Structures are given as structure tokens and as C-alpha cells.
Amino acid sequence: MLLTRATEYALLALDIIRKSDHPLGAEQLAYELNIPKSFLAKILQNLAKKDILSSKKGAKGGFILVKSIDDISLLDFIVAAEGKRPVVFDCVQYADTCPNGTIGGCTISPFLAKLQHKMDTLLESLTLKDIF
């Protein structure tokens, strides 16, 4: 399983947002974290679309946490940040990325499917509270 910078940046930004008593803008967060503003803004919008954050416009606007970290599974957070479910290997989910051209078409496919299931179960059982 490979998590990209999107999840890393989302977690770092969320740690700051959750501690704030007022909305924080992408520019301020990007500056504090020393990460690209445009990339962070896109990630934060994705989190807002999944109702993890709320976005407020205007001079005093920014992002605020709208759900308790107890209620956000790590799997849901990763999907919101990455835009897709994390997979062990792409061939577990997509036939066109499998060297054999079919899902389940090789000898290691059953093992990979079990591994994927265990990873999904673990990520679903963890919440952001387990991190923070």
C-alpha cells in the first residue's frame, strides 16, 4: 500500500485545523507546513466535499473540522484525500493493470485479495483519533 503526499499533507493540515478555534485558510496552512498551496487547497476541497471539513469564504474564511476525529475512519479519510481507495496492487482492483489481463487470473491473486481485505478492515477500524 502506497499512500501519497496527498494523505500526508491532509493529515498534517488536519492536525493544525482541529486545534484551531477559527477557520484556517489554505495559504496559511501551506505556509506553516511549507508545502505547495495549490496542492493543499485541492486536498482541503476534497476533504470538504466528503464533509470532513467545512469551507467558509471571505476575509475570515477558511477550513474548519465538522466531524469528530472519533467518527472519521482512516479508510474514509484516505479515500477523501487521495480520491481513491488504497490498494495493495492495482491488479487487485483493475483488470487492465494486471499482467494477465484479468482480476484473479494469476496464482498470487487469492493472496493479494486476502491482503487487500485485511488492509481494508484495518483501515476501517482505525479512526483519526488513533493518530492524533
- Summarize pLDDT for 39-82 with one digit per residue, the tens: 999 999 999 999 999 999 888 899 999 999 999 999 999 999 99
- Asked if 127 and 69 touch (Cβ cutoff 8 Å), the reply is yes
- Asked if 62 and 23 touch (Cβ cutoff 8 Å), the reply is yes
Domain of residue 89, residue span = 72-131
> What sections of 50-92 are H helices per DSSP?
74-82
Residues 31 and 78 occupy one common structural domain? no
Residues 123 and 93 occupy one common structural domain? yes
Residues 81 and 105 occupy one common structural domain? yes
Q: What pTM value is reported for the model?
A: 0.85
Residue 107, classified by CB atoms within 10 Å of its CB into exposed (0-12), middle (13-18) or buried (19+), is exposed
Residues 60 and 76 occupy one common structural domain? no
CA 36 to chain centre: 17
